[in-house]
Structure 1
Amino acid sequence: MFKFFVIPGHDRRLIPEGRLSGPMPWVIAIMIFLTVLAAAAGLAMTHAMSDVSDELSSRATVQIIEANPEIRARQAAAAAARLRRLPLIEEVRLLPPEEIEALIEPWLGAQNLSEDIPLPALIDLKLARAATESEYQSMRSTLQTIAPAARVEPSSGYIAPVISLVRSFQWIAFGLVALLALATASAVIISARSALNTHAETIAVVHLLGGTDQQISRLLQRRIALDALLGGLIGLVGGVVIIWLISTQLTALGSGLVQSVGLNWWSWLIIAAIPILGMFLAMMTAKFTVIGTLKKIL
């Protein structure tokens, strides 16, 4: 790759380089800026889904459904004691009625619900590892003798629709990255053909003097690669600034699920590599465009 950046000065003067004066670096900057944002969104959602899935896969909830509060309390205490003896269970926490009412208060209001609605007793379980369906079934069978109406549900089931929605957004973000890569390649094709038309006379003279298509292609590739790299760095800086601003706002929200949306070190490495990948894409697109066009017109 580096041979494209060590072309002698007198050769480079055959096709002048516009630096930031032309539209190409700014077009690439906009494309890379949008690509950085889309890639960051997709990677952040991937990270969030991984964290949430790992956390919820080792947690479960037991509901003791019984209208009589005394029987319900007795069954919940017996079930909690039985669950503590299971080797799969690492921690058992019986939620007090006040905490259960606080959980449903946003939906049903702050009135004393326990007098009107028989709320189930809830037991929060932390498992030593992710349990299989057969192990959950065995747990249900164990509790049947203590509380016939007991229900054991993995916590991941409650948030499964949210995970599915986030996964859809993730694929949309990565799809946008692919579309932006296609748009960048199209912009490079237009730029390469425009450069060929602008320097058609110079290219004809170079051919007459013994120049090859590969030499001309190298000159145009170098010009487009520098434009793409410069525009890519501008787009990367702009994208990182926006990501930082958004992450600051998300942190201020204080929501557990929202706070899990973040970028780890390898995500930042991928984002930092986007301008380099954009330059490679521009170089290869320019090469095939220039050589293909020269074969047709010469």
Structure 2
Amino acid sequence: MAGGNRRAAAAARHRLLPAGRVAGPMPWIIAIMIFLTVLAAAAGLGLGTAVRAMGADLAGRATVQIVEANAEQRDRLAGQVQQALRGAADVRSVAMVDPATLADQLRPWLGEDVTSGDLPIPALIDVTLTAGDAGMKVERVRGLLARLSPKLRIEPHAAFLLPLAGLLTALTWLAIGVVVLMGLATGAVVVLAARGAHDSHRGTIEVLHLMGATDVQIARLFQRRIALDALMGGALGFAFGILVILLIGARLSATGSQLLAAVALPPASWAVLVAVPIAGILLATLAGRWTVLRALGRAL
């Protein structure tokens, strides 16, 4: 009698868990969800890394502009500024920007006349401040420069890219929001699929109940099927997501832009991406189990 019960239970299980094929559209839907979630998570992590790298690189750095049309006076003033900055307690290092490098950067905008001497080009001095409150240090250096000449200006590097940093931060939060929404959507899809599976197997469930199966045992059968579907879909979506990320990373590296190159994924970020499909599988399994147990409880 016990052997017959086990065979009947096994037959019911195989009807609930079709073998050798993808059971319905749910694996493909989960694959799409995981694919989009991995891309959104990679975007958020990459942009977050870029914002942190930008902040660390620009914090405490500034540029002194010497706005003087006369070349001789400009050179003389540049020497005085460098000597004064090297003696300032708030300044760690001072470096004069090569005029040839500055001319090369201005040539696409001003043409070849930029090297003719007809256009007055300000001299630039890169300044690295000591650690601490960069805002207060910039103000103290600005006061020092004002005492030297009214033709001296100092601009912190962070001020130029502050709008860009704000945009990247907003995009990072947007990516985080997309990841949360995709997680909710995945859970909703699993709930709908579990309800459909429960409704389509009511006869089998009744037989299992008559054989003495508990709600937990029946829910475990559905849980196993959902877990297998989620595993297949998660692996497929994760593989395609990583492939797209690697292709985009290669394209960004080929641009040669330091800003785009900052959008990178450190090892910790890759670990988070690996956790995305695992979390998706667990979410699908738990959502399916909860849905089936809830449906079975209502049927009693």
Give the alignment's TM-score, normalised by structure 1.
0.90
Distance 1:82 1:114, change over 3 A: farther
Deviations 1:105-142 (A, max 9, x none): 33333323774543322111123435432211111111
Among 142, 145, 150, the alignment partner of 1:143 is 145
Among 105, 108, 111, the alignment partner of 2:107 is 105
Aligned residue runs from structure 1 range 1-298, under 5 A: 12-13=13-14, 15-18=16-19, 19-112=21-114, 115-129=117-131, 131-298=133-300
Match of 2:249, as an amino acid?
S
Conserved 8 A contact 1:36-1:271:
yes
Distance in 2 (CA, whole Å) between partners of 1:257 and 1:26 is 36
Match of 1:15, as an amino acid?
L
Conserved 8 A contact 2:219-2:292:
yes
Distance in 2 (CA, whole Å) between partners of 1:237 and 1:64 is 54
Conserved 8 A contact 2:129-2:137:
no
Distance in 2 (CA, whole Å) between partners of 1:163 and 1:103 is 23
Give the alignment's TM-score, normalised by structure 2.
0.89
3-state DSSP of counterpart to 1:158: helix
Deviations 1:158-214 (A, max 9, x none): 111111111222222222211211221121012101110121111122223332222
Distance in 1 (CA, whole Å) between partners of 2:278 and 2:10 is 24
Residue 217 of structure 1, CA deviation: 1.6
Distance 1:128 1:11, change over 3 A: farther
Distance in 2 (CA, whole Å) between partners of 1:136 and 1:120 is 20
Distance in 1 (CA, whole Å) between partners of 2:13 and 2:202 is 16
Gap regions ≥5 residues in structure 1: 1-7
Distance in 2 (CA, whole Å) between partners of 1:201 and 1:275 is 33
Q: Percent identity?
A: 42
Distance in 2 (CA, whole Å) between partners of 1:96 and 1:47 is 31
Deviations 1:45-83 (A, max 9, x none): 111111111011132111122333332222221011111
Cross-structure match for 1:3? none
Distance 1:101 1:207, change over 3 A: same
Conserved 8 A contact 1:79-1:147:
no
Distance in 1 (CA, whole Å) between partners of 2:213 and 2:174 is 46
Deviations 1:241-287 (A, max 9, x none): 11111111111111111111110001000001111100111122112
Conserved 8 A contact 2:107-2:114:
no
Match of 1:13, as an amino acid?
H
Distance in 2 (CA, whole Å) between partners of 1:76 and 1:130 is 26
Conserved 8 A contact 2:85-2:94:
yes
Greater shift, 204-213 or 270-279, is seen at 204-213
Conserved 8 A contact 2:59-2:134:
no
Greater shift, 144-153 or 190-199, is seen at 144-153
Distance in 2 (CA, whole Å) between partners of 1:38 and 1:69 is 52
Distance in 2 (CA, whole Å) between partners of 1:232 and 1:238 is 10
Gap regions ≥5 residues in structure 2: 1-8
Distance 1:122 1:131, change over 3 A: farther
Distance in 2 (CA, whole Å) between partners of 1:130 and 1:106 is 37
Distance in 2 (CA, whole Å) between partners of 1:112 and 1:156 is 27
Residue 101 of structure 1, CA deviation: 2.5
Conserved 8 A contact 1:64-1:147:
no
